[in-house]
Amino acid sequence: MEKKNMFDNPQNVKRLLKIFFSSVVALLIIDVVYIILSEQHIIHRHVEYEWEKYWSFYSVYGFVACVILVLVSKYILRPLVKRKEDYYDN
């Protein structure tokens, strides 16, 4: 019998996902706190652009960027460029 490894147990995978989802939520909360603190001038916040000040700008940008990236790759690029592995051999 092979040794059980960490992710062989679905419980552990679930646990990991839970930790991950909670940290994502925590980040959003921290962002709120940070915005409030910087608006009260307790913390100095240097921004280059106005939109950086919006709540969760970077979160939304990162999420949307990756969704677009995957959808474009899968539904536009792949049908265009995918060929059999021996395409260049003949």
Q: Which residues bind other proteins (CB under 8 A)?
A: 2, 5-7, 17, 20-21, 23-24, 27, 30-31, 34, 43, 45-49, 52, 56-63, 65-67, 69-74, 77-78, 80-85, 87-88
Residue 79 CB, nearest distance to other proteins (Å)? 10
Indicate if the alpha-carbon torsion angle 55, 58, 63, 67 is positive or negative: positive
Cβ proximity to other proteins, 36 vs 58, nearer residue: 58
User: Please, what is the minimum distance in Å from the beta carbon of residue 75 to other proteins?
Assistant: 9
* Shortest spacing between CB 9 and other proteins, in angstroms: 13
Residue 1 CB, nearest approach to other proteins (Å): 13
* Number of other residues whose CB lies within 10 A of the CB of residue 37: 13
Give whole-number Cα distances, 68 to 21, 55, 65, 76, in Å. Answer: 21, 21, 5, 11
Q: Which amino acid is at 12?
A: N
Q: Give the separation between CA 78 and CA 76, rounded to whole angstroms.
A: 6
